Amino acid sequence: MSEPIDFWFDFSSPYSYIASELIDDLAAKHKRRVKWRPIMLGAAFKATGSSLLINVPLKGEYSKRDFDRSARFHGLPYKFPPWFPLATQLAARGYYWLHGQDCAKAREFAHAVFRAYWVAGRDISELPVLLEIVDTLGIDSEAFAAAIATPEIKDRLRQETDAAIARGMFGAPYFMVDGEAFWGADRLPQIDKWLATGGF
């Protein structure tokens, strides 16, 4: 019962941002760790034939309001970014490279990327923006830029995405807690109860 919680996310998903600010504390309350795993949500959408939420008639208008309100509900800073959606593979590759060097730094980087996009409205699809973030965290930005261009790290991201889809992931955030899948930041209360009771 001490397995880490899997947390799959895409940096371009607003509900993933919300979950990213809450999941570690929730897990710690139950003496659990969290394995953060950025994936390419677009690939999952292809697998399920889903379309981007904000492009669906009626639902799209509602969703933008709900992103904002859900952040306020949790007391989190939030601002819908001027570019949405955007490509997140550079950031996700960077995460996996960093994770191989220093887990804690990778977590810091992930938080910084989420906040740069969902609070400060930075264009995190752009390499210079990522390098600036990396610099601020005291990470070697030249090594970072070189690493995320390698075939190994590109493959790693593809493999992580495929593996997540193979485990049922179709949207983000997506969690696996002791074999039980939970989708959405709004399932955190169920995860809390699941961890407290060992399943219900």
Cβ 128 to its own copies shortest distance, Å = 36
169 touches its own copies (CB under 8 A): yes
Peptide linkage before 85 cis (omega within 30 of 0): yes
- Long-range pairs of 192-195 with CB within 8 A, sequence gap ≥ 24: 192/26, 192/29, 192/30, 195/26, 195/27, 195/29, 195/30, 195/32
Sequence-ordered alpha helix ranges (H) in the chain: 14-20, 23-29, 41-48, 59-73, 89-101, 103-118, 127-136, 141-147, 151-166, 188-197
- For residue 58, state whether it binds its own copies (rule: CB under 8 A): yes
How far apart are CB 79 and its own copies at their closest, in Å? 16
Pick one of 76, 87, 119, 181: the residue that binds its own copies (CB under 8 A): 181
Q: Does 62 bind its own copies (CB under 8 A)?
A: yes
Residues comprising the chain, all counted: 200
Instruction: Mention every residue, 6+ apart, whose C-beta is less than 8 A from residue 77.
Output: 71, 115, 119
| Count of residues that interact with its own copies, criterion CB under 8 A | 32
Q: Give dist(CA 111, CA 166) in Å, integer.
A: 26
Question: Cα separation of 114 and 73, whole Å?
Answer: 18
Structure-token pair, residue 116: 């740069």
**Terminal-to-terminal C-alpha distance of the chain:** 15
Nearer to its own copies, 18 or 133 (CB): 18
Using the minimum distance from each CB to its own copies, give the nearer residue, 95 or 175.
Answer: 175
Q: Stretches 9-17, 28-36, 40-48, 125-133: which one binds its own copies (CB under 8 A)?
A: 40-48
Contact region with its own copies (CB under 8 A), list: 8-16, 34-42, 95-103, 167-175: 167-175
Classify 34 as helix, strand or coil. strand
Q: Does 33 help bind its own copies (rule: CB under 8 A)? A: no
Touching its own copies, residues 82-121 (CB under 8 A): none
CB of 187 to its own copies, least distance (A): 7
CB of 155 to its own copies, least distance (A): 23
Footprint of its own copies on this chain (CB under 8 A)? 44, 47-50, 56-59, 61-62, 65-66, 69-70, 72-73, 165, 168-171, 180-181, 183-184, 186-187, 189-190, 193, 200
